[in-house]
Structure 1
């Protein structure tokens, strides 16, 4: 879990036990993966590992509860940050976890052009591993019917950031995205255990291998295109050959463009 850390000197008040645990750390605000809350990297304490602390209120606090329980479950299957401390009140939550080694896949691909194919191969292998977790063992549901319900609530509540849509939907409204999605329904289900936000910023790379994934609050059983679409879309910034390489290495010989588009549209609403 890296990013663009900025040194900070004032942090929101914390529960006493958590505050004592973090004594001696230097704090840096992290600008990746905040999702409406605040994220800090804690570093520089002699003999102690780097940590990440997420803090949020109200709906963000609920999201941190979701992330905490999913991290604890997912840790038995693939590398993820280990939850070391969690505190939740009626309207606030703090999630403390270990920092994974490496840089984000986005940073790695951007900084090391000669290694891009090998990095994409590693990402595809990691996703195959994630998708082979038996769905019978997963207690979380993230299928498109469930997420459509959440998306509709977000649209009605005015929570969708329409200024953050991909270039293909620049100038669209959330309602237009919603209506376009309907054209790709129904979907033939192909359920696997998905990460839910399998983006280049949520995967860590060190020495050409994936050291784990972060931001696991959407983990659950869903169609495999939930993950395929997001990573494929992110790789588009670096050229179509890398997108094709990713799908081939994952094992997709012919892309389902209807499913791909549906999940790209769905992602715009979160």
Structure 2
């Protein structure tokens, strides 16, 4: 994105490109390390504006997350400048360190879930996400890298139909267990102090909205599985998660359903 330098020039600071997100947005870190900037093309500007609006709405609600510093939009795209959340992504921790950080990570997610869902203006409901998945599949835009190995060789329409068969039951469950979800509660989006191993906040909040709490639980569990050195670590993490979330009888099929849906919604 050649216009990135133009969007960053008005900040009068030096920026270093650190990565491109899964969405294709570019991410830059300010020279003092206290701020980041996301830059999206014009095709992605509306989604980036959605992340901006969610961050603004979350301010003052007790959730540790980036604060919006500035917003700049031009014909070619947009730039969201926000404060940096201290620490390192939980994905960078080994199994032992992650297990120590895990309780604080779960508490941070629970704090988000406990905000009044009926006051949230952002919708991430199952009907909306299924419609999004149907659109992605119709455009043949599913990213195969997001699919589990057992699904990589299956036709994407077959994967969508598998989700659709379970839709009525999951819609009923969502109706009685809807909370304010992160929407992408994977390990790179939990920041952790590497010394105290306490969660310092949540990042990448562009999918925040009301949804079944299992949306977040499924991604958090599945994404952490690669980090556990032993089965015992994984079992302990599950116990902490469900105890903290006050879920006495975890619904494994419900977890599996949202893992089947999520890869179809990116594209």
| Contact 1:162-1:173 within 8 A present in 2 as well | no
| Contact 1:162-1:172 within 8 A present in 2 as well | no
Matched with 1:203 is 190
> Is 1:20 equivalent to 2:7 in the alignment?
no
SS of 1:13 mapped into structure 2 = helix
Q: Which runs of 5+ in 1 are unaligned?
A: 1-9
CA RMSD of aligned residues (A): 2.0
Matched with 1:38 is 26
Distance 1:218 1:155 in 2: 19
> Is 1:106 equivalent to 2:91 in the alignment?
yes
Q: Choose the corresponding residue for 1:72, options 32, 56, 64.
A: 56
| Contact 2:90-2:98 within 8 A present in 1 as well | no
Q: How many residues align?
A: 250
Give the alignment of 1:53-132 within 5 angstroms: 53-77=37-61, 78-108=63-93, 110=94, 113-132=95-114
Greater relative contact order: 1 or 2 (C-alpha under 8 angstroms, separation 6 or more)? 2
CA drift of 1:26 comes to 4.2
CA drift of 1:72 comes to 0.7
CA drift of 1:209 comes to 1.7
| Contact 1:85-1:97 within 8 A present in 2 as well | yes
| Contact 1:225-1:263 within 8 A present in 2 as well | yes
Distance 2:52 2:183 in 1: 15
Distance 1:183 1:226 in 2: 18
| Contact 2:183-2:209 within 8 A present in 1 as well | yes
CA drift of 1:250 comes to 2.6
SS of 1:53 mapped into structure 2 = strand
> Is 1:134 equivalent to 2:134 in the alignment?
no
Distance 2:106 2:92 in 1: 17
Matched with 1:233 is 222
Residue 21 to residue 262, structure 1, CA distance change in 2 (3 Å)? same
CA drift of 1:27 comes to 1.1
CA drift of 1:11 comes to 7.2
* TM-score, L = length of structure 2: 0.86
Distance 1:170 1:247 in 2: 30
> Is 1:253 equivalent to 2:248 in the alignment?
yes
**1:179-237 per-position Cα deviation (integer Å, ceiling 9, x unaligned):** 11123222222100001001111110112222111111111110101111100111221
SS of 1:52 mapped into structure 2 = strand
Distance 1:138 1:150 in 2: 20
Question: As a proportion of its length, which structure holds more helix?
Answer: 2
Matched with 1:172 is 154
